[in-house]
Amino acid sequence: MKELISYSYEETLSIGYKIGKNLFKGAIVTLHGDLGSGKTAIARGIAKAFMVDDISSPTFTIFHIYEGTIPVYHFDIYRVEEDELEDIGYEEYFYSGEGVTLIEWADRLKRLYPLECLKITIQKMDEDVRKIIIEGIGEEYKKIEDVVEKDEDSGD
C-alpha cells in the first residue's frame, strides 16, 4: 500500500496520470471516497494517460466509454444496484481485456467487486489537500503500486 498527499487539483490529476501510465489492457481501478474527495480527478488523470482529453462524471448514465489509445470504461455506481450492472452486461467492460475500467463508488460493489484490481481510496483532508491510498490487489496490481511509489520517491 502506498500513501500520497496531493495539495491541489492539478497534483491529483498528475497522480492519476502517473497511475494511468502504468496500467495495462484489462486493468480495473476501483475508486473509493466521499462526495467531492477527488475520485473523478484521479479518473481524469488516468484517462489522460490514454489520450482521453476529458471525462465527465457519468452519474446519471451509469457509464461512459471513451476512445483513446485504448478504451476507457468509466463507471459511476453511486445510484446503481448490482443487479442493474448485471442487466447492462458489466462483465463485457470489467473483464474484456480490451480497455481500462474505472469504477467510482466501488465500495457499493459487494459480490461483483473484482478479485484483482488497483484500489484507490481518496480522503479529503482539507479544502485542497487529499490523502490518496493506492493498494494493488493481485500480483499485476502490486507491481503498479510499487512503480507509483518509485516514481514518487525519485521526484518524478
What pairing do the DSSP bridges indicate for beta strands 130-137 and 2-6? antiparallel
Torsion sign across C-alpha atoms 32, 36, 37, 38: positive
103-154 pLDDT tens trace: 999 999 999 999 999 999 999 999 999 999 999 999 999 989 877 754 444 3
CA 105, distance to chain mean position in Å, is 10
pLDDT of residue 84: 87
Q: Where are the alpha helices (DSSP H) in 23-67?
A: 39-48
Chain-wide mean pLDDT for the chain?
A: 88
Beta bridge partners of 123: 131
Is the pTM higher than 0.95? The answer reads no
Domains located in the chain, CATH noted: 2-154 (3.40.50.300)
Residue 3, SS3? strand
Q: Where would I find the H helices in the chain? A: 9-21, 39-48, 82-87, 91-94, 139-154
The CA distance from 90 to 112, in Å, is 9
Number of neighbours of residue 113 by Cβ within 10 angstroms: 16
Buried b (16+ CB within 10 A) or exposed e, 86-96: eeeebeebbee
| More confident site: 69 or 155 | 69
Cα gap 36→127, rounded to integer Å: 10
What is the pLDDT, as a whole number, of residue 114? 94
The per-residue pLDDT for range 5-18, each reduced to its tens digit, is 999 999 999 999 99
Please give the backbone phi and psi of residue 147, each rounded to the nearest 5 degrees, phi first: -65, -45
